[in-house]
Chains A and B, each alone.
Chain A
Amino acid sequence: MEDCLAKKMEITVSEAEKRTGRNAVNMQETYTAYLIETRAVESQSEGQCAPVDSLWRRYSEFELLRNYLAVTYPHIVVPPLPEKRADFVWHKLSADNMDPDFVERRRIGLENFLLRVASHPVLCQDKIFYSFLTQEGGWKEMVNETGFQLKADSRLKALNATFRVKNPDKRFTELKHYSDELQSVISHLLRVRARVADRLYGVYKVHGNYGRVFSEWSAIEKEMGDGLQSAGHHMDVYAASIDDILEEEEHYADQLKEYLFYAEALRAVCRKHELMQYDLEMAAQDLTSKKQQCEELATGTVRTFSLKGMTSKLFGQETPEQREAKIKVLEEQIQEGEEQLKTKNLEGRDFVKSAWADIERFKEQKNHDLKEALISYAVMQISMCKKGIQVWTNAKECFSKM
């Protein structure tokens, strides 16, 4: 069991800073830069703390890193980045990328991303990832030099693969179906949760009006005045309490969002399998047809229609030399094709094996994380109820003194 990077190195995204600069087309832009701090974990050293290394990265560099990882390790469920733009927003939250709350939640999300990668048994060993954390200058060039963009399969091709794959591994088909459903249900949940938060906010805030009117009313009362006034104060406390409650809930929403995006990563692995399977089937098909062509040329029977065949029939047979040459070319191609097929088969099987291993790892991680998220959400709800009981009990006491 290899030690993953996370155990050897402390990684934090500790700060976020607004910057202005010039972009690719020399236009001024504002963006946020994030400070990544790393420190080697010293085992049992007394009083000695390793120095902290740090460098600044912006979101687009994180994106570049993730794209690189996704292409380079297609059999791995690569951890997702926090959302690019604020989504599932309820009215109090800003949809503005520059909003400090959004930036803060993004900072946490980026740190989480780095920790996920650093704890992954395969990904943590990647050199580009390590340089991302430690090498300030020239990192972009280093990534581009790997030529990973060339390896990237165009999305269009992947889409076609879905239709025409004859024999995909059933587990991947099921998994893709699952990831679609997961994506759908979590999106729905997040949308409704945002609306629920909105409404709850409204309920709490209106109670603040009681505070004001009780205070005004207490001014004209003699015996009732004190009780009303102090009860009003508790109503103000109640109304104010919702801000913290909902801020905490955003954390739960972020945990759900991570798995929403993880579903996408899952689907990507399934698509990769389909693509490989598609390539394999195409190659096999191609090989079969070449073999058939060869056989026909050798035996002189034409089973498959070809324009060349027809024209040669109409305009005269080819010479035996010409035929020999053709057969020879085909035989070479067939041999190549058989080797390629063998390789592709092996690659396909390897892919399935390693992908499935990572998928199992992911499933365990997902179940653990989501269970924890649900439990902590339930705890949040209980805490909210307890606060509510406290406030109303206080108010009731004030009323009883009226």
Chain B
Amino acid sequence: QDLSLPNGTPVDTSSPASSSSLLNRLQLDDDLDGETRDLFVTVDDPKKHVCTMETYITYRVTTKTTRAEFDLPEYSVRRRYQDFDWLRNKLEESQPTHLIPPLPEKFVVKGVVDRFSEEFVETRRKALDKFLKRITDHPVLSFNEHFNVFLTAKDLNAYKKQGMALLSKMGESVKYVTGGYKLRSRPLEFAAIGEYLDTFSLKLGTIDRIAQRIIKEQLEYLVELREYGPVYSTWGGLEVELSEPLEGMSACVGNCCTALEELSEDMTEDFLPVLREYILYSESMKNVLKKRDQVQAEYEAKLEAVALKKEDRPKVPTDIEKCQDRVECFNADLKADMERWQNNKRQDFRQLLMGMADKNIQYYEKVCGTA
């Protein structure tokens, strides 16, 4: 397995984990990203399974770790899409104050695509790999019990059927009521995040449409090129003196066709899915913001109710204290996650857009070569 940081430097996996370092991580310290990586997860090796009732694909999920939470240093399990979906739901349930990364779309958007085609499976595999890596990178989510089981259990279905969430050591048993409390006004910083996400997903949507339009135009250009090249060949057959340059022209156009095909494929398989992922990410993040609003609303409502009673209280009731805690925890988690998200987003898009530029450069270099 190739274990290295996102920027390509290989990682030393010999640093031991300890229970105290566990608590350190709870403090949402970003220094973790540097040298002390101790959990590596990869998704690869898609395989098709044909059963009487259905046909589906499984992916191999490989884990390498030195963490104490894991019994073994290495695991290799097979998981299918619905397993990932289950994991994500469990994470949303159990870590409602955190931003959970998105999964690739469940259903195929355009009914024309074959969900068993190599390209589709590969695109999905990359997205699932990204999904698990994002969780792995998260200082809180990566310690989630369900995540652990997902990575290690031989029979995940048995665990799913248990239906009981194992009590975690981290007090994830907080249940958040979504009872109709309405928030008067969102604090400035969260309102800003909300607005940012709105505009951000709007712009991404536009870019998605533009990219699709470009691919469409390129394919139509390709259709014409495919007719264009052979005409030069025909003409070459007619001429004696000119047959060489004419054949050459025909070959050049043919080469252009191949290069263009590759470019369009790359854009479809590598560029568009990442855009869509981030749009989904934004949507789920906006939902988390709304949940935060709910929690704050509940707290404010209860506080108001107490104030109205005008009773002389020695101290604030514990119920309200708990609410206050919840709000503060939520805010803290969310802010930290947003910062992390912004950073990752910047890196992801930097890579994505540089990749797009690269592919276009390669296309022109290929065409130039034979011209």
Chain A residues with CB under 8 Å of chain B are 178, 181-182, 185-186, 188-189, 192-193, 195-196, 198-200, 202-203, 206-207, 209-210, 213, 216-217, 220, 223-224, 227, 231, 367, 370-371, 374-375, 377-378, 381-382, 385-386, 388-389, 392-393, 395-396, 399-400, 402
Q: Is residue B249 contacting chain A, with contact meaning CB distance below 8 A?
A: yes
Chain B residues with CB under 8 Å of chain A are 196, 199-200, 203, 206-207, 210, 213-214, 217-218, 220-221, 223-225, 227-228, 231-232, 234-235, 238-239, 241-242, 245-246, 248-249, 252, 346, 349-350, 353-354, 357-358, 360-361, 363-365, 367-368, 371
Chain A interface secondary structure, helix, strand, loop or mixed? helix
Residues of B within 8 A of A389 (CB): 361, 364-365, 368
Which of B203, B357, B371 is A395 in contact with, Cβ under 8 Å? B357
Do A392 and B357 form a contact, CB below 8 Å, given A192-B227, A193-B228, A374-B249?
yes
Which of A200, A207, A370, A382 is B242 in contact with, Cβ under 8 Å? A370
Expressed in whole angstroms, the Cα–Cα distance for A374 and B242 within the complex equals 10
Q: Is the CB of B242 within 8 A of A367?
A: yes
Do A231 and B353 form a contact, CB below 8 Å, given A192-B227, A200-B221, A371-B245?
yes
Q: Is the CB of B245 within 8 A of A199?
A: no
Which of B217, B353, B367 is A206 in contact with, Cβ under 8 Å? B217
Do A199 and B210 form a contact, CB below 8 Å, given A185-B235, A189-B231, A396-B361?
no
Q: Is the CB of A188 within 8 A of B207?
A: no
Expressed in whole angstroms, the Cα–Cα distance for A89 and B271 within the complex equals 35
Residues of A within 8 A of B220 (CB): 199, 202
Q: Is the CB of B200 within 8 A of A206?
A: no
Q: Is the CB of B241 within 8 A of A367?
A: yes
Q: Is the CB of B234 within 8 A of A210?
A: no
Q: Is the CB of B360 within 8 A of A388?
A: yes
When C-beta atoms are compared, the residue in chain A nearest to B196 turns out to be A220
A206 to chain B, nearest CB (A): 5
B367 to chain A, nearest CB (A): 5
Residues of A within 8 A of B357 (CB): 392-393, 395-396, 399
Which of A178, A199, A400 is B354 in contact with, Cβ under 8 Å? A400
Count of chain A to chain B residue pairs whose CB atoms are closer than 8 Å in the complex: 127
Q: Is the CB of A202 within 8 A of B221?
A: yes
When C-beta atoms are compared, the residue in chain A nearest to B222 turns out to be A199
3 smallest CB-CB distances across A and B, nearest first, come from: A396-B357, A199-B221, A385-B368
Which of A186, A213, A381, A386 is B207 in contact with, Cβ under 8 Å? A213
Q: Is the CB of B349 within 8 A of A402?
A: yes
Expressed in whole angstroms, the Cα–Cα distance for A203 and B203 within the complex equals 20
Q: Is the CB of B368 within 8 A of A382?
A: yes
Residues of B within 8 A of A375 (CB): 245
Q: Is the CB of A381 within 8 A of B238?
A: no
Chain B interface secondary structure, helix, strand, loop or mixed? helix
Do A192 and B350 form a contact, CB below 8 Å, given A389-B361, A396-B358?
no
Q: Is the CB of B221 within 8 A of A196?
A: yes
Q: Is the CB of B349 within 8 A of A224?
A: yes
When C-beta atoms are compared, the residue in chain B nearest to A372 turns out to be B245
When C-beta atoms are compared, the residue in chain A nearest to B359 turns out to be A392
B364 to chain A, nearest CB (A): 4
In the complex, 12 of the A-B residue pairs with CB atoms within 8 angstroms, ordered by the A residue number, are: A192-B231, A199-B221, A202-B217, A203-B214, A203-B218, A203-B221, A209-B210, A213-B210, A378-B248, A392-B357, A396-B361, A402-B346
Residues of A within 8 A of B371 (CB): 378, 381-382, 385
Q: Is the CB of A393 within 8 A of B361?
A: yes
Residues of B within 8 A of A192 (CB): 224, 227-228, 231
Expressed in whole angstroms, the Cα–Cα distance for A385 and B245 within the complex equals 19
Expressed in whole angstroms, the Cα–Cα distance for A389 and B217 within the complex equals 20
Which of B200, B223, B238 has most chain A Cβ within 10 Å? B238
Q: Is the CB of A220 within 8 A of B210?
A: no
When C-beta atoms are compared, the residue in chain A nearest to B358 turns out to be A396
Residues of B within 8 A of A188 (CB): 231, 234
Which of A189, A206, A217, A377 is B203 in contact with, Cβ under 8 Å? A217
Q: Is the CB of A216 within 8 A of B203?
A: yes
B137 to chain A, nearest CB (A): 19
Q: Is the CB of A378 within 8 A of B242?
A: no
Q: Is the CB of B367 within 8 A of A381?
A: yes
When C-beta atoms are compared, the residue in chain B nearest to A374 turns out to be B245
Expressed in whole angstroms, the Cα–Cα distance for A203 and B371 within the complex equals 20
B234 to chain A, nearest CB (A): 6
Do A223 and B346 form a contact, CB below 8 Å, given A196-B225, A202-B217, A203-B214?
yes
Expressed in whole angstroms, the Cα–Cα distance for A399 and B346 within the complex equals 10
Q: Is the CB of A392 within 8 A of B361?
A: yes
Expressed in whole angstroms, the Cα–Cα distance for A353 and B21 within the complex equals 102
Expressed in whole angstroms, the Cα–Cα distance for A192 and B353 within the complex equals 33
Expressed in whole angstroms, the Cα–Cα distance for A186 and B223 within the complex equals 19
Expressed in whole angstroms, the Cα–Cα distance for A58 and B355 within the complex equals 56
Residues of A within 8 A of B199 (CB): 217, 220
Expressed in whole angstroms, the Cα–Cα distance for A400 and B347 within the complex equals 10
When C-beta atoms are compared, the residue in chain B nearest to A178 turns out to be B238
Q: Is the CB of A210 within 8 A of B207?
A: yes
Residues of B within 8 A of A195 (CB): 224
Which of A200, A377, A402 is B353 in contact with, Cβ under 8 Å? A402
Residues of A within 8 A of B241 (CB): 367, 371
Residues of B within 8 A of A220 (CB): 196, 199-200, 203
B221 to chain A, nearest CB (A): 4
Residues of B within 8 A of A224 (CB): 346, 349-350
Q: Is the CB of A388 within 8 A of B364?
A: yes
Residues of A within 8 A of B364 (CB): 385-386, 388-389, 392
When C-beta atoms are compared, the residue in chain B nearest to A193 turns out to be B228
